[in-house]
């Protein structure tokens, strides 16, 4: 596909469409839009221009313009993606949703929030809480990712074990199609089976099918009681073996996370705070919530007993905000903390059936030993979702790329052997396009390509992401 390269005349046209204040061309100002959170220069590229529309009509005008000119459009939320999904690797313009950041309605009767995409997930959670309501989505990046980005990537996060991924909370979407048409699917109806379920095709489409400009989010009553357990184990395998036992004990925990010893030590270093039993082999972090104190207490007692019966060194229970925060800070610091050990790394996001987690971690350990590299792991154990991170450390560029590619090849092969998939929540973006194409059934790949062609016949929406160019 030959795309049009943006020139000075084009910039004038964009300014005429959405105003000079909403068009950025200066390199120093565009620099922050040239990357996401993938820590590798190979996944960076300067945009030709950045546009900051203020409303859906402006998004539509830009899309119509880009479709006529054959200019790639890369929608962007908070830029916290871990798959180079919001990077203009094939040229074109960045369409940042940061100025569309209004909560339009909180409906206490139907338990809905209607909002624009450019609001941070943390602000969504707090706004719901102020109304005594609960938005269950909770990626570790909540303070910097946008709700629109969460929808576009179908973000998972800590509470997905009990409440599901972002898709579970989305009941309606307004979308600007690649040709500029504005269309709404769904809304506040809790049930609606008219037509195809386009909403859940758009959720997780990573900006390749359209621009999400308005979202109907389902809220829930705020759980009154919450308790978090921090459970250290001497050995990683002991910790991970306990996960299927908890998941089959008749309780659905809100969160069930794990951290291996390297991740614990990295977080301790990053936070500059002593963590309990930080020389242990692994932590399990488990949260339960509910409407009565007795329910929460009885659930955490059952989980605590399962852990102690299965080699836990100790069970710490936090049932107040301060100790809750301390525990979650350690877990949420994982990605940032690893940067202190190795500024460049390759964070993976594999997912396997929960019962196969112990085997998956065994395989990762074998691969790390075989290639003599460090691969710290942490993640959403209750979802079978493991973030294993290959560290570059002091390797030169060439050795690093050879090592990373060889390690990834073996990790992905092991994951598919274990009936897993290469990304549980971070997405395919640009980073995993090749690997996905290699492992996905060709007929399934054909269906994906047909969907893309139906939405975006000119392939201008985030080209080269999810599917090969």
Please report, as ranges, the residues that interact with ligand FAD according to CB under 6 A.
Answer: 36-37, 74-82, 85-86, 97, 117, 139-141, 145-146, 148-150, 152-153, 155-157, 206-207, 211-212, 335, 425-426, 429, 462, 465
Q: How far is the CB of 145 from ligand FAD (least distance, A)?
A: 4
Closer residue to ligand FAD in complex, CB, 211/217: 211
CB atoms within 10 A of CB 350: 25
Decide if 293 contacts 223 (C-beta within 8 A).
no
Closer residue to ligand FAD in complex, CB, 211/303: 211
Q: How far is the CB of 298 from ligand FAD (least distance, A)?
A: 28
User: Residue 405: which residues within 8 A CB-CB, separation 6 or more?
Assistant: none
Q: At what angle do helices 293-309 and 236-247 cross, to 10 degrees?
A: 140
Helix (H) or strand (E) holding 69: helix 56-69
Q: How far is the CB of 371 from ligand FAD (least distance, A)?
A: 25
Cα–Cα distances in angstroms (integers) from residue 435 to residues 202, 405, 423, in the given order: 22, 10, 11
Q: How far is the CB of 352 from ligand FAD (least distance, A)?
A: 17
CB atoms within 10 A of CB 28: 7
User: Residue 291: which residues within 8 A CB-CB, separation 6 or more?
Assistant: 221, 223, 224, 225
For every residue of 213-234, which 3-state class applies, written as one string?
EEEEEECEECCCEEEEEEEEEC
- The maximal CA–CA distance of the chain, rounded, in angstroms, is 71
Closer residue to ligand FAD in complex, CB, 118/232: 118
Closest residue to ligand FAD, judged by C-beta, is 149
Q: How far is the CB of 153 from ligand FAD (least distance, A)?
A: 4
User: Residue 380: which residues within 8 A CB-CB, separation 6 or more?
Assistant: 156, 157, 158, 160, 161, 255, 256, 257, 424, 425
Cα–Cα distances in angstroms (integers) from residue 150 to residues 170, 207, 232, in the given order: 11, 11, 31
Q: How far is the CB of 168 from ligand FAD (least distance, A)?
A: 13
* Burial group, residue 146, by CB count within 10 angstroms (0-12, 13-18, 19+): buried
Q: How far is the CB of 177 from ligand FAD (least distance, A)?
A: 11
What is the distance between the alpha carbons of residues 62 and 73, in angstroms, rounded to a whole number? 9
Q: How far is the CB of 402 from ligand FAD (least distance, A)?
A: 26
């Amino acid at each position: 596909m030959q795309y049009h390269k943006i020139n000075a005349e084009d910039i004038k046209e964009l300014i005429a469409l959405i105003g000079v204040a909403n068009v950025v061309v200066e390199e120093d100002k565009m620099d922050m839009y040239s990357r996401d959170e993938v820590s590798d220069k190979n996944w960076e590229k300067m945009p030709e221009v950045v546009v900051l529309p203020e409303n859906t009509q402006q998004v539509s005008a830009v899309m119509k313009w880009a479709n006529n000119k054959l200019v790639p459009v890369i929608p962007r939320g908070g830029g916290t993606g871990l798959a180079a999904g919001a990077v203009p690797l094939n040229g074109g313009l960045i369409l940042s949703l940061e100025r569309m950041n209004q909560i339009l309605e909180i409906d206490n009767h139907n338990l809905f929030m209607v909002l624009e995409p450019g609001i941070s997930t943390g602000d969504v959670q707090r706004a719901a809480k102020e109304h005594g309501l609960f938005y269950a989505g909770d990626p570790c990046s909540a303070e910097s990712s946008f709700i629109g980005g969460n929808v576009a990537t179908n973000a998972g996060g800590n509470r997905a074990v009990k409440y599901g991924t972002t898709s579970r909370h989305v009941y309606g979407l307004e979308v600007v199609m690649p040709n500029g048409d504005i269309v709404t699917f769904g809304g506040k109806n809790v049930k609606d089976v008219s037509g195809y379920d386009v909403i859940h095709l758009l959720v997780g489409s990573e900006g390749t099918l359209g621009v999400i400009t308005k979202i109907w989010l389902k809220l829930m009553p705020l759980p009154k009681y919450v308790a978090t357990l921090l459970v250290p184990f001497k050995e990683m395998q002991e910790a991970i073996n306990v996960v299927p036992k908890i998941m089959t004990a008749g309780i659905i925990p809100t969160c069930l996370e794990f951290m291996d010893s390297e991740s614990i030590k990295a977080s301790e270093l990053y936070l500059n705070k002593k963590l309990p039993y930080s020389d242990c082999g692994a932590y399990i972090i488990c949260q339960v919530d509910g409407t009565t104190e007795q329910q929460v207490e009885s659930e955490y007692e059952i989980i605590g007993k399962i852990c102690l019966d299965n080699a836990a060194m100790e069970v710490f229970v936090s049932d107040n905000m301060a100790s809750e925060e301390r525990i979650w800070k350690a877990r949420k610091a994982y990605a940032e903390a690893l940067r202190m050990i190795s500024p460049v790394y390759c964070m993976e996001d594999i997912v396997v059936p929960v019962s196969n987690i112990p085997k998956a971690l065994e395989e990762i350990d074998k691969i790390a030993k075989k290639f003599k590299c460090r691969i710290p792991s942490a993640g959403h154990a209750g979802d079978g979702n493991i973030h294993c991170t290959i560290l570059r450390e002091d390797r030169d560029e060439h050795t690093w790329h050879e090592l990373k590619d060889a390690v990834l090849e073996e990790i992905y092969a092991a994951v598919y052997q274990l009936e897993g998939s290469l990304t549980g929540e971070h997405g395919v973006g640009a980073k995993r396009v090749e690997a996905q194409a290699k492992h996905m059934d060709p007929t399934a790949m054909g269906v994906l390509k047909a969907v893309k062609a139906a939405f975006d016949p000119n392939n201008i929406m985030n080209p080269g992401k999810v599917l090969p160019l």
